[in-house]
Amino acid sequence: MTGLYVETGGEGPALVLLHGWGLNVRVWDPLAQALGGRLRLIAVDLPGHGHSPWQPAHATARRQVQCISAAVAPLLGHKPYALLGWSLGAELALQWASARPQSLERLVLFAATPRFTSAPDWPYGAPADRLERLAQGLRSDYRRTVSDFLELQVRGSASGERVLAQLRAALFAHGGARPEALAAGLDILRETDLRAVMGDIDIPALVVAGQYDRVLLPAASRALAQAMPRARYVEIRRAAHAPFLSHAREAAALMTEFLES
């Protein structure tokens, strides 16, 4: 038993959803409403987030993917499914897909990158000191640090105030993340570099970025899509880091077309 919290809803093809750093399954509610029950959504609280417990063994991306896949396996059986990841959840989704499980048929990624931090050969990443500032903030006041990060996610969005309210409502309704889980998430973002395996993920993929994302450059998602054999890149105008919230109907239409094609 993994003990991770899982919710299901809707009918149709199965779609597993992995949320971002510091959030929980409630962040998917507006998108689920826009999808109108046409998909069987299986949403998971990442280890140490929301209602899911935390264990030191969850600290690595590889172990988190193992725990999450074990938690949803009884709901999937051996039937085909798709996987959706957002931000940190997209990093885990890419790790998951790189193992090439036979039943995984399609991949949807919001605000995704194979490498979060910049490097001499990767100009699309965030400055390394951004993660260090977040890590320092966690040690002094982790709740304030998460709140500040939520505000960064909505900057540039056409519906920034509404999206920020939705993010905060998700935390209020379902609970935040434990400091240990938040620190581990930053370590995963700092250490992960999947560029060498992107060419091996040979399944249809939809990569969606927000035009004004201040957390992750859209160019990183574009480069990711170009590195994957069967990926399509879409950039949503006037969206920021959470386009599935600011433009839920547009995102739902893109997903529905992609998953049903």
Tell me: the pLDDT tens digits for 76-116? 988 999 999 999 999 999 999 999 888 999 999 999 999 99
CATH superfamily placement of domain 6-260: Alpha/Beta hydrolase fold, catalytic domain (3.40.50.1820)
What pLDDT, on the 0 to 100 scale, is given for residue 261?
82
* Cβ within 8 Å of residue 44, ≥6 positions away: 4, 5, 6, 16, 17, 18, 25, 52, 68, 71, 72
pLDDT band at 128 (very low <50, low <70, confident <90, very high): confident
How are beta strands 40-44 and 6-9 bridged, if at all? antiparallel
Decide: 163 and 244 in contact? Cβ < 8 Å. no
Average pLDDT estimate for 173-179: 96
Tell me: the pLDDT tens digits for 188-240? 999 999 999 999 999 999 999 999 999 999 999 999 999 999 999 999 999 99
Decide: 45 and 24 in contact? Cβ < 8 Å. yes
Tell me: the pLDDT tens digits for 8-52? 999 999 999 999 999 999 999 999 999 999 999 999 999 999 999
User: Across all residues in the chain, what is the average pLDDT?
Assistant: 96
b/e sequence 158-194, b meaning 16+ C-beta within 10 Å: bbbeebbebbeebbeebbbbbbbbbbbbbebbbebeb
Place of tokens 């540039």: 156
What's the rounded Cα separation, in Å, for the pair 62 and 216? 22
Tell me: the pLDDT tens digits for 45-78? 999 999 999 999 999 999 999 999 999 999 998 8
Q: Is the dihedral of CA 32, 33, 35, 38 positive or negative?
A: positive
Q: Look at residue 4 and tell me whether its pLDDT is greater than 50.
A: yes
Give the residue numbers annotated as catalytic, written as ranges.
87, 213, 241
* Cβ within 8 Å of residue 61, ≥6 positions away: 91, 92, 95, 188, 191, 192
Closest CA to 30 of 12, 43, 11: 43
Place of tokens 């996610």: 153
Q: Look at residue 1 and tell me whether its pLDDT is greater than 50.
A: no
